[in-house]
Amino acid sequence: MAAFQASNFFWKFRARKGDASRVREEFWPKMKAVAAKIPFAEDALAAYYCAMDRQTPLRVRGMLVAALAYFVIPLDLIPDVMPALGFTDDAAVLMATFQLIAAHIKPEHRDAAKAALSDIQTNR
C-alpha cells in the first residue's frame, strides 16, 4: 500500500523534457556548494550515477532524474537557503525515490558516489 502511495506521489514529479540536461548542467555546481551541509550527499551522488547509467531501466532513470531535478531547481517547497529546514524536502523526495528503486542502485554507483564525495571534500 505504501509503495502504491509513493508511486502516485512521484507520478506528479515525473521527469519532464529538459530535466535530464538541466540535471547534468546544474547537479555538480550545486553538489559542490552544498555537499558539506547535507547528510544525504552520498545518496544524491549515487542517484546521479544511477540516473546517468544507460543500463538503468528507463522508468527508473526517469524517476531519479525527476528527484534530482527537484534537488537542483531552486524553486521548491522549502527554500534551500532556510537554515536547518532548507534541504528536508529535497532529502524526502530523494529518499522516497530510493525506496522505490533501491534494487537498481549498484555497488559501482555507490563506489563512484563515495569517490566523488571524497574529491569534493578534499578540494574544498
Q: For position 8, what pLDDT does the model report?
A: 46
**Distance (Å, rounded) from C-alpha 12 to C-alpha 25?**
23
CA–CA dist 30, 73 (Å, integer): 10
- Confidence band (pLDDT; 50, 70, 90) for 93? confident
The confidence band for 121, taking pLDDT boundaries of 50, 70 and 90, is: confident
Contact 102, 16 (CB under 8 A): no
Give 122: exposed, middle or buried? Use CB within 10 Å, 0-12, 13-18, 19+: exposed
Q: Is residue 114 scored above 90 in pLDDT?
A: yes
Ranges of each domain in the chain: 2-122
User: Where residue 9 falls among pLDDT bands split at 50, 70, 90?
Assistant: very low
Q: Give the pTM.
A: 0.74
pLDDT at 31 over 50: yes
Weakest mean pLDDT among 63-67, 88-92, 110-114: 88-92
pLDDT at 81 (0 to 100):
53
